[in-house]
Amino acid sequence: MTSRFSFDLLGGDGRCAARLGRVHTAHGVIDTPVFMPVGTLGTVKGLTPAQLEEIGATIILGNTYHLYLRPGMEVVEALGGLHKMAAWPHPILTDSGGFQVFSLRHRAKIEEHGVTFASHLDGSRHLLTPEGAIHIQETLGSDIMMAFDECPPAGAHPRVVTRAMERTSRWARRCVDARTREDSALFGIVQGGVDRDLRERSARDLTSLPFEGFALGGLSVGEAREATWDSVESAAPLLPEDKPRYLMGVGTPEDLLVCVGLGIDMFDCVLPTRHARNARIMTADGDYNLRNARFRLDDRPLSPGCECYACRNFSRGYLRHLHKANEVLFNTLASLHNVYYLLDLMRGARAAIAVGDYLDYQRELLARRATSDPQDGDAPGGA
């Protein structure tokens, strides 16, 4: 099957595994490494498409499970597909629903043919299969679809992790067989927990299939951060050099900085908008909680030197007031800043890789976040 999807590996740092690339899709080009804001229900919470474009977002995510339940595929089809419905003319990646099987596993029964689950909205019963996940994503009009996978929890018994990895491989083959659209790329998901041998087996199985890209799934689900990094370091080199590498659901600045250096091209996470709704502000000098009373009279921007709209126009004291008053505008401005910060972090990474200076860029920013002044926040470098 031909596809309008392609990936150009433009170069690397030379001193580490950091890569510079360009992804071509039916709805536009994505320069990598890239952070992808998450729009679970067809919208990045608190932000308009115009705001996302202004801060440099080139791709967003949608969620198969949630969009299938609400508004439903009949509505999405009637409104012209996810791109038109959401007024986002740029690339969209959709996950397959596999992570929701993990996060809502108390509502789900996993069997070989698929997963039966109870809707978190009304308790109604539904069956999601590999074939169904592909059909939903093709209906949404995804530029990048994810294969349906089973994500075991951190600390699961080795037999459980092995069974999930093997089932993921079998489901991957069914996803490949089910696809029909030439304009939707399909990525396979490597599973195996933090077991290196299982990850190697999974990568070997999946790279034998005609996927346009590959993801590392089942990480940052409760294991120690160092275990995540160790798994990425061992698994990333197992993936083809000429296809994009995606680390799913990982989005702290530390994770991005370390894992770009390990050869990862694509990242996503709900963290920046979730943090924003909880008044946690992300900056190069560490994260802080704007609820803290010390910011009541603070006339500085959220992050001095930041060029986002919120920082160019408003003070910490004013934004703290908005949050304390439950004003909706706070969520928009804080989300705008946090998403901008991660997008800008990746812009800086791309520039550093281009001149062979990524390790210095990484070391400087990791050191700044690790040694930030606690008077500027309540938890230096905290997530």
Give φ, ψ of 6 to 5 degrees.
-155, 165
For 267, the 3-state DSSP assignment is strand
Q: Is the dihedral of CA 128, 133, 138, 143 positive or negative?
A: positive
- Beta strands at 19-25 and 28-32: parallel, antiparallel or unpaired: antiparallel
The residue among 192, 140, 147 whose CA lies nearest residue 166 is 192
Who contacts 373 (Cβ-Cβ below 8 Å, separation ≥6)? 285, 380
For 203, the 3-state DSSP assignment is helix
Q: How far is CA 80 from CA 25, 42, 71, in A?
A: 19, 13, 13
Give the whole-angstrom CA distance, residue 314 versus residue 299. 8
* Residues that are catalytic: 95, 268
Residue 150 CB neighbour total at 10 angstroms: 24
- Beta strands at 213-216 and 245-247: parallel, antiparallel or unpaired: parallel
The residue among 8, 180, 3, 29 whose CA lies nearest residue 91 is 29
Give φ, ψ of 153 to 5 degrees.
-70, 155
Quote the tokens at residue 152: 């075991």
Residue 84 CB neighbour total at 10 angstroms: 12
Distance spanning both ends of the chain, measured CA to CA = 42
Give the whole-angstrom CA distance, residue 367 versus residue 381. 10
